[in-house]
């Protein structure tokens, strides 16, 4: 499991690693929270979820702690690794006051190297996308209409990882 890899890669001087970004929680555990969740790892990884997510988290291979009040039930001390780009000031003020914070870069490091399963999923996604695009006639549609048509057909064939970007003519140089 990827959370074990992250825990092994954690700098031994760090007491806990805390992950808040839902996509990274999913990547590490296979669980995508519908609401707020906190993935904590170090010696004993666990994920703290609200009651709303409790049933969704049942099949996770990490200890799940259902909390009624994150504020009352989560307490951290010491040196904490956080995703600096995804940790809000309000989270730091509420939960990490007085802790020494360091950037938790290992998540991005782990995600940069794809395992066989990920490579196969990427290849499958490419095939699905190519099949959908080959079957569409987008001529005469606006960019917005073309994007909607592509999104609809991708969702029909599989799930999309992100919304397609359609940019033509003068907009093609600035797709984002």
pTM of the model: 0.76
CA–chain centroid gap for 49, Å, is: 15
Select the CATH number that applies to the domain covering 2-112 from these four: 3.40.350.10, 3.40.50.300, 3.40.50.2300, 3.30.1360.200. 3.40.350.10
Which residue, 38, 162, 50, is CA-closest to 88?
38
How do residues 12-29 score in pLDDT, each as one tens digit?
888 889 999 999 999 888
pLDDT at 124: 92
As annotated, the residues of the chain forming the CATH 3.40.350.10 domain(s) are: 2-112
Asked if pLDDT for residue 47 goes beyond 90, the answer is: yes
**DSSP calls for 58-81:** TT-SSEEEE-S-HHHH----SEEE
């Amino acid at each position: 499991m990827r959370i074990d890899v992250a825990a092994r890669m954690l700098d031994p001087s760090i007491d806990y690693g805390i992950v808040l970004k839902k996509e990274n929680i999913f990547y590490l555990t296979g669980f995508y929270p519908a609401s707020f969740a906190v993935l904590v790892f170090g010696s004993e990884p666990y994920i703290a979820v609200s009651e709303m997510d409790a049933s969704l988290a049942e099949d996770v291979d990490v200890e799940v702690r259902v909390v009624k009040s994150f504020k009352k039930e989560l307490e951290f001390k010491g040196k904490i690794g956080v995703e600096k780009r995804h940790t809000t000031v309000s989270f730091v003020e509420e939960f990490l006051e007085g802790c020494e914070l360091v950037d938790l870069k290992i998540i991005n490091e782990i995600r940069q190297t794809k395992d066989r399963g990920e490579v196969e999923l990427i290849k499958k996604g490419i095939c699905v996308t190519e099949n959908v695009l080959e079957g569409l006639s987008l001529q005469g549609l606006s960019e917005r209409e073309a994007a909607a048509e592509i999104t609809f057909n991708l969702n029909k064939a599989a799930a999309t990882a992100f919304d397609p970007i359609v940019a033509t003519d003068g907009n093609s140089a600035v797709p984002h």
